[in-house]
Amino acid sequence: MKSPLLSLPGAVPAEGRDEGVAAHYGDLFREQRALADGKGLVDLSHRGVVTVTGDDRLSWLHLLLTQHVSELPAGRATEALILSANGHIEHALYLVDDGTTVWAHVEPGTQEALIAYLESMKFFYRVEVADRTDDVAVVHLPAGSIAAVPDGVVVRETAYGRDLFLPREDLADFAAGNAPAAGILAYEALRIEGHRPRLGFETDHRTIPHELGLIGSAVHLQKGCYRGQETVARVHNLGKPPRRLVFLHLDGSEVHLPAPGTPVRLAADGEEGRQLGFVTTSGRHHELGPIALALVKRNVPVDAALVAGGTAAAQETVVEP
């Protein structure tokens, strides 16, 4: 679904999973600085929007999600996962309940599979699941923003800012009144800086929550009865995850950023050394320069100098080994 904000001056379309919104509007670092200063907005209208209504919505979701939501207060934002039977991450939901409806935004293109799973689990519960992507757009306002939110718009507020579930027909007018718009590359650079993993970027078919530091933020350890719980409990109590998320400060003299999937090795071993992990996301930050997130083997020393492809990389611990 193509965003109307792609018609703004300087807009360059994003590619890949973020197709449909702007990668940037002509000045990546200016856009990042504006967001860091609490100004402007980010068009996330390509993300899927799913709602759950009905008297049993919270108690029902509590049985399916990794997060404790049975008594979720209205207006309190949270995030949650849906795992496979083996504990691997399948879906990530960023949600809030407005008192009558649970609103969640999810990765672009994943809403149909999510809804299919939710529908299969309804049984006798009084719930209705709906895909609202066609009529509701997600807009992000950075932390510190003083932008006024239109009446009736559901807001999901976190330490990183506010996510608005805005009627799609109002997107262009809202953006015009709350300029400047920032592209997805600016948003992603700040996400990398904040060590925040993203489904389909920091995850693959075998990722478990412990590897990404999601225990606590998206996985509640004092609740039961969700698919994959056995793996979560076993790794937490008896074992250690096979991989861990790291933040990389990349050599700023390199022209090209290492692409997702680029092998990570020990710098001492060079490009012919044994692969210890791979880059998941990379970006250019207005203050830190080129940065990235990567998944590496748990036993990689936390002080080891690394190389991502041909780019020197100093690691910063995100998940303790």
Would you identify the CATH topology of the domain 242-320? Answer: Elongation Factor Tu (Ef-tu); domain 3 (2.40.30)
pLDDT value of position 238: 87
Domain extent listing, the chain: 4-47+135-194, 48-131, 242-320
pLDDT confidence tier of residue 51, bands split at 50, 70 and 90: very high
Amino acid at residue number 57: R
Q: Is residue 74 predicted with pLDDT exceeding 80?
A: yes
pLDDT value of position 240: 87
Q: For 175-217, write each residue's pLDDT tens digit.
A: 999 999 999 999 999 999 999 999 999 999 999 999 999 999 9
Would you identify the CATH topology of the domain 48-131? Answer: Alpha-Beta Plaits (3.30.70)
pLDDT value of position 9: 96
Q: How far apart are CA 146 and CA 272, in angstroms?
A: 51
Q: Is residue 88 predicted with pLDDT exceeding 80?
A: yes
Q: Is residue 154 predicted with pLDDT exceeding 90?
A: yes
The β-bridge partners of 139 are: 43, 164
On average, the pLDDT of the chain sits at 96
User: Rounded to two decimals, what is the model's pTM?
Assistant: 0.96
The edge-to-edge listing of strands for the beta sheet with 101-106 is 78-83, 89-97, 101-106, 48-53, 128-131
Residues 6+ apart with CB under 8 A from 183: 11, 12, 14, 21, 22, 23, 24, 25, 28, 31, 42, 43
